A and B are shown apart, each in its own frame.
Chain A
Amino acid sequence: MSGEWGLYVHIPFCQARCTYCDFNTVTGMGEDMHERYVKALIQELAEERLPDGSLASIYFGGGTPSLVDADLLGAVIDQVRLKTALAPRTEITVETNPGTVTAEKLSRWAQAGVNRLSIGAQALQNHHLSALNRIHDAGAIQDTVSLARNHGFSNISLDAIYGIPGQTLTEWQATVTGLLALSPDHLSLYALMVEEGTPLQKSLERGEQRLPLGDLVADMADWAEKALTDQGLMPYEISNYARPGFASRHNQLYWKLLPYLALGAGAHAYHPGRRWWNVRGVRRYMEMVEHGQDPVDGEEILTAAEEMREYLWLGLRQWVGVSVPAFSERFGCHPKEAFGPVWLSLGNMGLVAWHDSRIILTERGRDMANVVARALVDAPLALSVSP
């Protein structure tokens, strides 16, 4: 094990809820609640036992971390520093909504040690942005990026969504081209996932709007991959592209099944053998922490076989794939020993390949990663392997 771990900090507050979002978010809570919540985060952290090894990353996700006062995020980072050393290489990311970023916040984040911004752009057409209930327009995206550059942020990631209702290939190409013109160091391009219970899902169900056909969405993905690659933004995961050296350290922890702590309402943490999560309700989370209670709401204990499967289907999301020696070292057996017949069938289908002691998805395998994941998610473990 590399001895690295990460810290996820959940900031659930949003100014408005995007139509597609099913994350744990709240709208309409004022600054007093922001402060109270961050106090609870700091208290939760104070009582956590940190994993061994070095802290590779802190990630402020949401919700909208950029909505709250910048000093509040700084206070959480300060508390981390009290408990463990922060290396200069430690990646500290803040997810931002372009409608909430100011020069003031940028400079205070920089002071606090934030060194990476993930900016939710989503689209560059105002009619799409407003249909998705985003609080900003296309201009705000460009302004935010240049403001951030002016404040010295040298690691900027942009998010965009394709396959949204009514979107044409031309519009998507304009979004991708427009985002590339901002010279991001990292891009996350997500095919829209319609989640149960979201306003988007209900609207689709009522037939008010329609999703683009699967072939069009596939064309969008393929076109974008080529456009990004041509600009030196290389794909390193199903939805993620980076210039060399700018792949998100934090997200790689997830795909490599390395430990991460998580603070805040509904946040999920993992340590080998166990995944656990906090209560979702923001008020309930604060009350529990304030009363000295552990805010954990549930956990799952992962058997060695379950960890092997997760390690593989998560690891294969990355273009670098899974290292066979790393797998063997962690689990005490060769992946073929553990799941031989599954590899055989995935190999026959042309979805995975073995190269230089790594297992990787083939080009077709990347397009059909779910076929691979479904094969692995409950793959029977060979009897000869006794974890």
Chain B
Amino acid sequence: MDQAHIRNFSIIAHIDHGKSTLADRLIEVTGALTAREMAPQVLDSMELERERGITIKAQAVRLSYEYSGERYELNLIDTPGHVDFTYEVSRALKACEGALLVVDAAQGVEAQTLANLYMALENDLAVVPVINKIDLPSADPDRVMDELLDIGLDATEAVLTSAKQGVGIDEVLAAVVRHVPPPTGDHGAPLRALIFDSRFDSYKGVLVYVRVMDGALKIGDRVRFMATKKEFEVTEIGVFGPNPTLVPELLTGEVGFFAAQIKTVQDTRVGDTVTHAGRHAGQALPGYRPAQPMVYSGLYPVDSEDYGRLREALEKLQLNDAALTFEPETSAALGFGFRAGFLGLLHLEVIQERLEREYDLTLITTAPNVVYTVTLVQGGSLRVDNPALMPPAGDIATIEEPVVQADIITPSEYIGAVMELAQERRGTYLNLDYLDALRSRLTYRLPLGEIMYDFFDQLKSRTRGYASLDYQLKGHEVADLVRMDILLNGEVVDALSTIVHRDRAYGKGRQLAERLRELIPRQLFEVPIQAAIGSRVIARESVRALRKDVLAKCYGGDITRKRKLLEKQKEGKRRMKSVGSVEIPQEAFMAILRVDGE
């Protein structure tokens, strides 16, 4: 296809504003799939993605569309819909010239709408506003148009749609052709193709999703990945329609995938540039950065014999997930396991669920934590990704923690509630804008560790579900942090150690001890619980001994049944981790996330 008839675009939206449904409609209307083949939300191909309604990995679909008697090739590049994957979104946008900005006709502009818009503008994309869900009784397209005007968009260009009812879909496609510019690259220049995604296929090896910026890619080409410096020979090239179709080449401006007997996605980093091994490009496309885990968590098999299986499962998942890192770790309490790094909590949850579901592992996951940079008194610095490894307080000069800039859009009546929440989480106020008569945008600097877990849930509950959140990493800051240990039966349980702000330590210690008392089942012996900073105990609780554990009746008719009951109870206990003589359920290791120190 000549470049003038190609359009590369993404759909960007706040979560739940109807991105996936619109994508489905575009695919359906252009006849890429028959109605019979359409499963709801075709692009969300992982089972987990469909269950959670979130796009975890990006994908690309080629649509064929006729406009004013001419045939166009429209490449829809889907983007992940979660803040954990902001970098992946930015790479997917880099592969486009335009974006559909979908806004819910009832909800209006939200935090992610803005964040996505800014990201699209940074990438010089043509933005086509789409006001979706106009079928809703509460839809108010006029108000949304005003909001679009307020954020600097030409609202008169907005397309009104109901993706659910198939209204306005053709108009969206026409707007893509009219408003999104064709790709500009140089067909004669050395090959430069941007990797915006990759996934592992057990037959073909890694499928690398690329947008050709300059030059052309053909079967048999020897290619080089400029960041990883790996070279491969291209064995297969294809496009998704959304069913895969093989093609002989990808030309400048086109989007597709290739296979080259690549064994692991670690070699094909999102954001890297593919060029020819022979006639190679002088300069890579800008903006590549290696995947950087933001949160770390210990993964331990409940049954220590599963350690090998856990390693194999992690290795397999890593084949398809360049952002997942792990290395062996030993815990005095939990035995042998791995410290794994994730882009964010959603990423952690997805990996944890896949390990348990697809690999049938029973795991103890320790509370996730951020990475601290510790400067030592005697000079030098350490990167600490496990609270248990925090050096003794006397050796530490400073501890730095990662911070984010968070933008929160909320109805103005909840400003007070949001500010209170941000204060509780050690936020620093930066800015307040009134977006319109009813809504405001609050900007705070917040420690990443404070918003990792239930911040979003709290934000929603304190604003009756109206507030939205987006955040970006803004480096590290020194904070007065200390390690808090938990002792059960007088022994430190390293997997329960956590880093807290000194001012909150007492409150958190007390709450955590209380939570643990509720979570740890009563057992044969009394279990004293202590929270301590260094050698100073700051909170005490105790799980009283269980008084009775008997089967009242056991006669001839139910000996078999009672034996099975005992075996089942024993199985239940195996799902808990025995630390010393104390049985600790999985939830106890996450308890710290549920205390706010107030």
Contact between A374 and B554, CB atoms less than 8 A apart: no
- Residues of chain A contacted by B558 (CB below 8 angstroms): 268
Contact between B556 and A214, CB atoms less than 8 A apart: no
Quick one: which of A189-230 are within 8 Å of B by CB? 190-193, 214-215, 217-218, 221
Segment from A68-76, A136-144, A147-155, A362-370 that makes contact with B: A362-370
In whole angstroms, what is the CA distance A71 to B557 when docked? 25
Cβ-based interface call for A17 (8 A):
no
Cβ-based interface call for B524 (8 A):
yes
Segment from B51-59, B498-506, B565-573 that makes contact with A: B565-573
Contact between B548 and A368, CB atoms less than 8 A apart: yes
Contact between B550 and A369, CB atoms less than 8 A apart: yes
Contact between A239 and B552, CB atoms less than 8 A apart: yes
Contact between B556 and A371, CB atoms less than 8 A apart: no
Cβ-based interface call for A180 (8 A):
no
Selected from B548, B552, B573, the residue in CB contact (under 8 A) with A190 is B552
Name the CB-closest residue of B to A260.
Answer: B556
In whole angstroms, what is the CA distance A253 to B546 when docked? 31
Contact-size category for A: 35 or more
Given the interface pairs A214-B547, A310-B563, A374-B569, the reply to whether A238 lies near B557 with Cβ below 8 Å is: no
Cβ-based interface call for A262 (8 A):
yes
The digit string for B68-83, where 1 denotes a CB below 8 A from any CB of A, is 0000000000000000
The digit string for A290-324, where 1 denotes a CB below 8 A from any CB of B, is 00000000001000000000100110010000000
Cβ-based interface call for A182 (8 A):
no
Cβ-based interface call for B555 (8 A):
yes
In whole angstroms, what is the CA distance A8 to B557 when docked? 9
- Max count, chain A CB within 10 A of own CB: residue among B552, B555, B556: B556
Cβ-based interface call for B549 (8 A):
yes
Contact between B554 and A314, CB atoms less than 8 A apart: yes
- Residues of chain A contacted by B557 (CB below 8 angstroms): 8, 10, 23, 61, 262, 266-268, 277
Contact between B554 and A193, CB atoms less than 8 A apart: no
Cβ-based interface call for A16 (8 A):
no
Given the interface pairs A349-B524, A368-B524, A370-B569, the reply to whether A191 lies near B550 with Cβ below 8 Å is: yes
- Max count, chain A CB within 10 A of own CB: residue among B548, B558, B569, B573: B548
Contact between A270 and B548, CB atoms less than 8 A apart: no
Whole-angstrom distance between the Cβ of B552 and the nearest chain A Cβ: 4
Whole-angstrom distance between the Cβ of B566 and the nearest chain A Cβ: 5
Whole-angstrom distance between the Cβ of A60 and the nearest chain B Cβ: 13
Whole-angstrom distance between the Cβ of A351 and the nearest chain B Cβ: 8
Contact between A370 and B559, CB atoms less than 8 A apart: no
Whole-angstrom distance between the Cβ of A304 and the nearest chain B Cβ: 16
The digit string for B526-564, where 1 denotes a CB below 8 A from any CB of A, is 000000000000000000001111111111111110010
Cβ-based interface call for A378 (8 A):
yes
Cβ-based interface call for A331 (8 A):
no
In whole angstroms, what is the CA distance A217 to B522 when docked? 15
Cβ-based interface call for A254 (8 A):
yes
- Max count, chain B CB within 10 A of own CB: residue among A214, A277, A374: A374
In whole angstroms, what is the CA distance A277 to B547 when docked? 35
Given the interface pairs A268-B557, A268-B560, A275-B559, the reply to whether A377 lies near B552 with Cβ below 8 Å is: no
Cβ-based interface call for A373 (8 A):
yes
Given the interface pairs A239-B553, A370-B566, A378-B567, the reply to whether A218 lies near B559 with Cβ below 8 Å is: no
Selected from A192, A217, A269, A378, the residue in CB contact (under 8 A) with B570 is A378
Given the interface pairs A370-B569, A371-B524, the reply to whether A218 lies near B556 with Cβ below 8 Å is: no
Quick one: which of A123-151 are within 8 Å of B by CB? none
Contact between B555 and A373, CB atoms less than 8 A apart: no
Selected from A193, A270, A366, the residue in CB contact (under 8 A) with B556 is A270
Name the CB-closest residue of A to B522.
Answer: A214
Contact between A190 and B547, CB atoms less than 8 A apart: no
- Residues of chain A contacted by B552 (CB below 8 angstroms): 190-193, 238-239
- Residues of chain B contacted by A102 (CB below 8 angstroms): none
Cβ-based interface call for A231 (8 A):
no
In whole angstroms, what is the CA distance A365 to B32 when docked? 70
Selected from B547, B551, B554, B560, the residue in CB contact (under 8 A) with A218 is B547
- Residues of chain B contacted by A275 (CB below 8 angstroms): 559-560
Whole-angstrom distance between the Cβ of B528 and the nearest chain A Cβ: 18
Contact between A368 and B546, CB atoms less than 8 A apart: yes
- Residues of chain A contacted by B559 (CB below 8 angstroms): 254, 268, 270, 275, 310, 314
- Residues of chain A contacted by B522 (CB below 8 angstroms): 214
Contact between B549 and A371, CB atoms less than 8 A apart: yes
Whole-angstrom distance between the Cβ of B570 and the nearest chain A Cβ: 5
- Residues of chain B contacted by A214 (CB below 8 angstroms): 522, 546-548
Quick one: which of A3-28 are within 8 Å of B by CB? 6, 8, 10, 23
- Max count, chain B CB within 10 A of own CB: residue among A192, A239, A368: A368
Contact between B556 and A8, CB atoms less than 8 A apart: yes
In whole angstroms, what is the CA distance A191 to B555 when docked? 15
Whole-angstrom distance between the Cβ of B10 and the nearest chain A Cβ: 48
Selected from A254, A267, A370, the residue in CB contact (under 8 A) with B550 is A370
In whole angstroms, what is the CA distance A378 to B548 when docked? 21
- Residues of chain B contacted by A349 (CB below 8 angstroms): 524
In whole angstroms, what is the CA distance A373 to B569 when docked? 11
Cβ-based interface call for A251 (8 A):
yes
- Residues of chain A contacted by B563 (CB below 8 angstroms): 310, 377
Whole-angstrom distance between the Cβ of B33 and the nearest chain A Cβ: 44
- Residues of chain A contacted by B550 (CB below 8 angstroms): 191, 238, 366-370
Whole-angstrom distance between the Cβ of A271 and the nearest chain B Cβ: 12
- Residues of chain A contacted by B547 (CB below 8 angstroms): 214-215, 218, 367
Contact between B553 and A369, CB atoms less than 8 A apart: no
- Residues of chain B contacted by A193 (CB below 8 angstroms): 551-553
- Residues of chain A contacted by B549 (CB below 8 angstroms): 367-371
Whole-angstrom distance between the Cβ of A383 and the nearest chain B Cβ: 20
- For this complex, 7 residue pairs linking A to B, each with C-beta atoms less than 8 Å apart, are A190-B552, A238-B551, A238-B554, A239-B553, A254-B556, A367-B548, A371-B549
Q: Which A-B residue pairs are the 5 nearest by beta carbons?
A: A218-B547, A190-B552, A370-B549, A191-B552, A254-B556
Interface positions of A (Cβ within 8 A of B): 6, 8, 10, 23, 61, 190-193, 214-215, 217-218, 221, 238-239, 251, 253-255, 260, 262, 266-270, 275, 277, 300, 310, 313-314, 317, 349, 351, 366-371, 373-374, 377-378
12 further contact pairs, Cβ within 8 A, besides A251-B555, A270-B556, A377-B563: A8-B557, A217-B548, A238-B551, A238-B554, A239-B552, A239-B553, A254-B554, A262-B557, A268-B560, A367-B548, A369-B550, A374-B573
